[in-house]
Amino acid sequence: MDPSKPTELPVRPKEAPKEAEAAEGEPKISKRELAKQAKKAAKNAAKSNNPQPAKETKPKPQNGPKEAPAPRDPDAMFKIGFLSDVYQERPLSETHPKIRTRFPPEPNGFLHIGHSKAIAVNFGFARYHGGECILRFDDTNPEGEEERYYSAIRDIVSWLGFTPVRETHASDNFDRLYELSEELIKRDGAYVCHCTKAEVKAQRGETDGQRGGQRFACPHRTRPIEESLSEFRAMRDGKYKAGEAALRMKQDLEDPNPQMWDLFAWRIPEGGKQHLRASKYAMFPTYDMAHGLCDSIEGITHSLCTTEFQLSRVSYEWLNDKLDVYRPMQREYGRLNITGTVLSKRKIIQLVKEGHVRDWDDPRLYTLIALRRRGVPPGAILSFVNELGVTKVGSNVQMHKFDQSVRQYLETTVPRLMVVLEPLKVVIDDLADDHEEMCEVPYSKDPAFGTHNVPFTKTVYIERSDFREVDATDYFRLAPGKTVGLIKVPYPITATHFDKDPATGVVTCVHAKYEKPAEGAAPIKPKTFIHWVGESARHHSPIRAEIRTFNSLFKSEDPSSNPAGFLADINPDSEQIYADAMIDPGFEEISRGAPWPKEAAETDVTANKHSIRFQGMRTAYFAVDRESTPEKTILNRIVTLKDTQGKT
């Protein structure tokens, strides 16, 4: 990607007329008119999906109704709508020669699907405008911080294809925050308060859980500046215990916005807990204190966050202005939420602890490590976020809509193989024991993917569900007396009879004949073709695998609203394991050729087993699980081939 391109996009109207004048030399058109035209052109260029207006922007002609839709412009969300408006509010200029954003996760949990939007917005916005994005760990609340969360966050950002210009911690700025806090006190913008929690609530108009009462100032609000200063230093040096003293901003109690009701700025942690990285402080700044000022200190131009922080914008601006420091521009977009699952850390911990899921990366969860393990490609996640678009309004998306987006992404980007989930042995009695016919199977509808050969032999395996003991007129797959095609095998087979385990009644083997026509006779045309895998040790066929398929972990769209608790909503059939599945031998070749799709961040296939993705013809999309070994292949189902839940 050429980072210089996008920044050229919004042509500055005042420069454009000059160019037009020189080129046209047309005296009849007024400068004003030219400016208008240039502005229009710039607008059109910005709206266009193609950065070069000269190029054809029409979608490619479609070959047939089954052709996948042309991929959307991956930068669409930056070109029009909310993010474009945000840019226009503060475009590149002499005071802002470079766009700088930040992604500020708390290192106390794994990122989930909702964070992918924050990553796409913050990193993407910077990249699109040729700027940079900082990965800032917001360690203002070290409760629950763990090293593994740091590395997982780094890892996921990189997996999604983004590189932070640098990594910072909110705590890197504590010294500066401390200085600024003393300055704030000196400017009569903060005071040390010794009120209890209940007292502070009452001051904010809340008594016995009832809000909206009269607000009033606490007695410490008017204490002398010098006194607050010395008390603040005492706080820093460990004189007080948790709850005995706190620094509060001196804002505006008359303001209807609760973010102006003398917010806490520094607090003393419970039990004198030390900060992991800034142990010299016996107190920690609050999010409200640290966030806006860290943005300011780090020279963030556009601080993009979700609408939960809309009210905080006022305190963010108040604090920067009160201290007379550089003020970044905070703007808020609607968050992304997936329904039918739980995303809260507390709930996922419970699921893991009680064994409802394997771990934080269980493919049924919507943490980003879980989606990765399931086999969802990073590009599909970004494309999903882009498709939803970025506005002020949040998105509550059903899981099957997400799956549909993933399915579309995979359709044209991964190879195809034949996979039999639940094999049923078929013996073609009229073939010689050593019959071996190589059948060429294309890896994709796209010829660029090439083809591979699979052995057609006397014994093949088909899907158990593709056979019926009793035929019916509206049934077109295999049954006694019925003829069916095997994908890419020259002639069809007809079932003659079958064997059953007398004890269980389960069909153990189907006998069939090969319908190779006699010379001069017309071949039989089957109504349906089914997938299959031949038995040939010489050609490593079949490759045996354990395949795990997943359904929604919960029964309802809103597990948390279950009166008996979210665990009562767990779907007992959320996972089905096919222990004896079979894959055609093309699996070896596509494993060597991974990653599929060719995602930039997955070139190390050993570290990214999930990047071995493919479509099982007539079955589903699959990816290799991280537990897979050379001795035992384990696959996860990424998504089904068709949307079966979306029929609403």
Interacting residues with Zn ion (CB under 5 A): 193, 195, 218, 220
Catalytic residue among 345, 425, 618, 626: 345
Integer Cα distance of 539 and 437 in angstroms: 11
Nearer to Zn ion by Cβ, of 217 and 607: the residue is 217
Q: How far is the CB of 203 from Zn ion (least distance, A)?
A: 7
Do residues 323 and 180 lie in contact, with contact meaning Cβ atoms separated by under 8 Å?
Answer: yes
Q: How far is the CB of 292 from Zn ion (least distance, A)?
A: 23
Radius of gyration of the chain (CA): 31
Q: How far is the CB of 217 from Zn ion (least distance, A)?
A: 8
Integer Cα distance of 298 and 308 in angstroms: 23
Integer Cα distance of 306 and 114 in angstroms: 10
Nearer to Zn ion by Cβ, of 286 and 552: the residue is 286
Integer Cα distance of 46 and 490 in angstroms: 53
Nearer to Zn ion by Cβ, of 88 and 230: the residue is 230
Tokens encoding 118:
């924050």
DSSP classification of residue 600 = G
Nearer to Zn ion by Cβ, of 193 and 421: the residue is 193
Torsion region of 195: left, alpha or beta (phi above 0 gives left; psi -120 to 50 gives alpha) = beta
Integer Cα distance of 59 and 53 in angstroms: 14
Nearer to Zn ion by Cβ, of 218 and 493: the residue is 218
In which residue are the tokens 């505006």 written? 252
Catalytic residue among 90, 223, 327, 335: 335
Please list, in sequence order, all residues whose beta carbon lies within 8 angstroms of the beta carbon of residue 88, skipping any fewer than 6 positions away.
10
Nearer to Zn ion by Cβ, of 218 and 426: the residue is 218
Nearer to Zn ion by Cβ, of 157 and 246: the residue is 246
Question: How far does CA 515 lie from the centroid of its chain?
Answer: 49
DSSP classification of residue 602 = G
Do residues 485 and 470 lie in contact, with contact meaning Cβ atoms separated by under 8 Å?
Answer: no
Nearer to Zn ion by Cβ, of 135 and 192: the residue is 192
Give the containing element (helix H, strand E) for 549.
strand 543-550
| Integer CA distances (angstroms), 317 to 100, 397, 559, in order | 18, 32, 38
Q: How far is the CB of 258 from Zn ion (least distance, A)?
A: 17
Shortest-Cβ-distance residue relative to Zn ion: 218
Active site residue 345: yes
Q: How far is the CB of 201 from Zn ion (least distance, A)?
A: 12
Nearer to Zn ion by Cβ, of 151 and 207: the residue is 207
Integer Cα distance of 194 and 397 in angstroms: 45
Q: How far is the CB of 247 from Zn ion (least distance, A)?
A: 11
Q: What is the DSSP string of 248-303?
A: EE---TTSSSGGGS--EEEEPPGGGPPPSS-TT-SSEE-HHHHHHHHHHHTT-SEE
Integer Cα distance of 408 and 231 in angstroms: 61
Active site residue 335: yes
Nearer to Zn ion by Cβ, of 117 and 220: the residue is 220
Catalytic residue among 79, 106, 231, 515: 106
Closest CA to 487 of 536, 454, 535, 446: 454
Q: How far is the CB of 402 from Zn ion (least distance, A)?
A: 48
Q: Helices (H) and strands (E) in the chain — how many of each?
A: 17, 27
**Residue type at position 507:** V
Integer Cα distance of 278 and 165 in angstroms: 23
Do residues 479 and 433 lie in contact, with contact meaning Cβ atoms separated by under 8 Å?
Answer: no
Q: What is the DSSP string of 555-575?
A: SSS-GGG-TT-GGGGB-TTSE
Question: How far does CA 36 lie from the centroid of its chain?
Answer: 41
Q: How far is the CB of 116 from Zn ion (least distance, A)?
A: 42
The neighbouring-strand residues paired with 8 are none
Integer Cα distance of 612 and 622 in angstroms: 8
Integer Cα distance of 254 and 231 in angstroms: 26
Q: How far is the CB of 256 from Zn ion (least distance, A)?
A: 22
Q: How far is the CB of 177 from Zn ion (least distance, A)?
A: 21
Q: How far is the CB of 194 from Zn ion (least distance, A)?
A: 6
Sign of the torsion angle spanned by Cα atoms 250, 251, 252, 257: negative
Nearer to Zn ion by Cβ, of 76 and 242: the residue is 242
- Cα dihedral 203, 204, 207, 210 in deg (nearest 10): 170
Active site residues: 106, 335, 345
